């Protein structure tokens, strides 16, 4: 299929990065790509969503990725999985998977799902800092995204989301639910209670966000809902107050550089030096602007906070704050220096089991079983117009309209945007500039 035609089909189906990024997938199609990587690395601990999709629908995942590869003229598709997933799926390194697809087995290391790290590990290529993977001839898509692309080619839009329910629960599960499902209603259906002193995370323990079950919903990007105690380091780091932290930094940070020396992107040759960014942000000294600008290439992986710093400082929180402010002002790292991975990189990788132990989640790592399609009995489904990177979708329905699951509710705006579809049958109860609410049809 021609690239333009494929982009139209994927765009019409509202496919966005399902691994958490939310970038509209049709906008990833580009000329000059030689490799498509399927990101099934399950970057964070406790997540089994990618594994469940591969176990149930490996053929669809490969088919979706291969369609994209062929449309772009790429020569290969590499299914990137960690060693433990390869063992579970009985796959070997570089195993042919039919067509132009093969496996790429990655070490059990955190953060292997960071696409910049994955591209280097799987292909030995370094994406220049601040540039897209396409600059290295690569497109990376999540396993569920590839599955959604396969559906899009059959005219089936994205209306459901695969996710893991895990952490401090009796039986970790992987399920598929309509987009817009209320988190509280879903946890109740799963028989999960959130005890006093525990939180619910949307996402993994390191990079996920604390959400309120009463108001949070499953979006096109939700990969997991984890119940974890607020006393563990992974959750404590999320509670850090950035202003208080910046005040503390000048007295508490001893500039030991451990955060920089363990930073996975710094080890790839990226200009990131969190100890310098902290020093500049804490002191307000901008005599070396690159110390602040380099924060724009931080992935937010939190290795600096959770594995490196022994002073109780949370460098990743400062990096994220600086990066956010740079983004608001359209500033960022613009260097053209060549990048060279550090010779010591292989010895500084963070093994997944050590990472889990350090961040306090090792005891919760149990295999999640696939439990099928679920629906709650909630009367209303709220669908935000911004579940993706870029401009919000533009509503094409009005209050009072009857809609069926899969019907388009909002089209993609010009530029980078994504379409939105009804995830259930019902009546459009509300249309605002932020969301569309559907009242479920009672049959
Ligand atoms: S590891 Fe902690 S104490 Fe050391 S330089 Fe980084 S922030 Fe400062
Ligand atoms: S969060 Fe910390 S370790 Fe991760 S990329 Fe950013 S600076 Fe490096």
Ligand 1 centre and the CA of 342: distance in Å?
20
Verify whether ligand 2 is closer than 6 Å to residue 317 (CB atom). Answer: no
* Sequence-ordered strand ranges (E) for 186-249: 198-202, 209-211, 224-229
Verify whether ligand 1 is closer than 6 Å to residue 253 (CB atom). Answer: yes
Ligand nearest to the CA of 312: 1
Compute the mean pLDDT over every residue in the chain, rounded to the nearest whole number. 95
Verify whether ligand 1 is closer than 6 Å to residue 319 (CB atom). Answer: no
Verify whether ligand 1 is closer than 6 Å to residue 215 (CB atom). Answer: no
pLDDT tens digits, one per residue of 123-140: 999 999 999 999 999 999
Looking at residue 47, what is its pLDDT?
96
Q: Go through the domains of the chain in sequence order and give each one's CATH number.
A: 3-153 (3.40.50.11540), 159-232+360-378 (3.10.20.600), 239-350 (no CATH), 379-443 (2.40.50)
Looking at residue 72, what is its pLDDT?
97
Ligand 1 centre and the CA of 241: distance in Å?
17
Tokens describing residue 273: 């030096």
CB burial of residue 311 (10 Å; 0-12, 13-18, 19+):
middle
Contacts with 356 (C-beta within 8 Å, 6 or more apart), sequence order: 45, 362, 365
Q: Which atom of ligand 2 is nearest to the CA of 265?
A: 5
Ligand nearest to the CA of 299: 2
Residues across the chain = 443
Verify whether ligand 2 is closer than 6 Å to residue 300 (CB atom). Answer: yes
Q: Which residue, judged by its Cα, is nearest atom 5 of ligand 1?
A: 255
Q: Which residue, judged by its Cα, is nearest atom 4 of ligand 2?
A: 301
Mean pLDDT, residues 336-363? 93
CA dist 202 and 193 (Å) reads: 16
pLDDT tens digits, one per residue of 33-71: 999 999 999 989 999 999 999 999 999 999 999 999 999
338 pLDDT above the threshold of 80: no
Q: Which residue, judged by its Cα, is nearest atom 3 of ligand 2?
A: 263
Verify whether ligand 2 is closer than 6 Å to residue 315 (CB atom). Answer: yes
What is the phi-psi region of residue 203: left when phi exceeds 0, alpha when psi lies from -120 to 50, beta otherwise? left
Q: Which atom of ligand 2 is nearest to the CA of 303?
A: 3
Q: Which residue, judged by its Cα, is nearest atom 1 of ligand 1?
A: 309
Q: How many CB atoms are located within 10 Å of the residue 336 CB?
A: 7
Verify whether ligand 1 is closer than 6 Å to residue 254 (CB atom). Answer: yes
Q: Which residue, judged by its Cα, is nearest atom 2 of ligand 1?
A: 309
Looking at residue 443, what is its pLDDT?
62
Looking at residue 255, what is its pLDDT?
92
């Amino acid at each position: 299929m021609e690239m333009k035609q494929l982009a139209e089909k994927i765009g019409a189906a509202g496919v966005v990065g399902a691994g958490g990024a939310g970038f509209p997938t049709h906008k990833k199609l580009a000329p000059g790509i030689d490799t498509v990587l399927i990101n099934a690395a399950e970057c964070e601990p406790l997540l089994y969503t990618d594994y469940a999709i591969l176990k149930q629908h490996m053929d669809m995942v490969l088919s979706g990725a291969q369609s994209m590869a062929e449309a772009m003229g790429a020569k290969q598709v590499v299914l990137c999985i960690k060693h433990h997933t390869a063992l579970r799926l009985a796959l070997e390194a570089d195993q042919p998977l039919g067509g132009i697809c093969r496996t790429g087995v990655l070490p059990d290391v955190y953060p292997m799902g960071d696409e910049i790290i994955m591209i280097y590990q799987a292909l030995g290529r370094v994406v220049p800092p601040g540039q897209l993977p396409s600059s290295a001839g690569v497109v990376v898509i999540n396993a569920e995204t590839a599955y959604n692309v396969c559906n899009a080619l059959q005219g089936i839009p994205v209306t459901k989301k695969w996710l893991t329910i895990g952490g401090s629960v009796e039986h970790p599960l992987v399920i598929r639910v309509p987009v817009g499902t209320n988190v509280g209603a879903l946890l109740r259906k799963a028989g999960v209670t959130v005890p006093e002193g525990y939180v619910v995370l949307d996402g993994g323990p390191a990079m996920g966000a604390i959400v309120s079950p009463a108001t949070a919903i499953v979006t096109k990007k939700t990969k997991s809902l984890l119940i974890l105690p607020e006393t563990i380091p992974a959750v404590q780091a999320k509670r850090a107050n950035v202003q208080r932290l910046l005040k503390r930094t000048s007295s508490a940070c001893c500039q030991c550089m451990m955060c920089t020396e363990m930073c996975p992107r710094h080890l790839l040759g990226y200009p990131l030096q969190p100890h310098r960014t902290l020093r500049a942000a804490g002191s307000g000294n901008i005599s070396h602007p690159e110390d602040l600008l380099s924060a724009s290439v931080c992935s937010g992986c939190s290795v600096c906070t959770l594995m490196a710093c022994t002073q109780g400082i949370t460098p990743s929180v400062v990096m994220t704050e600086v990066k956010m402010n740079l983004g608001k002002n359209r500033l960022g790292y613009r260097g053209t220096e060549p990048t060279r991975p550090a010779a010591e990189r292989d010895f500084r990788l963070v093994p997944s089991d050590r990472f889990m132990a350090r961040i306090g989640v090792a005891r919760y790592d149990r295999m999640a079983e696939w439990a099928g399609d679920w629906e709650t009995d909630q009367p209303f489904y709220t669908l935000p117009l911004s579940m993706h990177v870029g401009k919000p979708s533009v509503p094409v329905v009005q209050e009072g309209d009857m809609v069926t699951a899969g019907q388009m509710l909002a089209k993609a705006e010009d530029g980078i945007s994504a379409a939105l579809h009804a995830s259930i049958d019902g009546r459009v109860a509300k249309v605002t500039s932020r969301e569309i609410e559907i009242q479920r049809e009672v049959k």
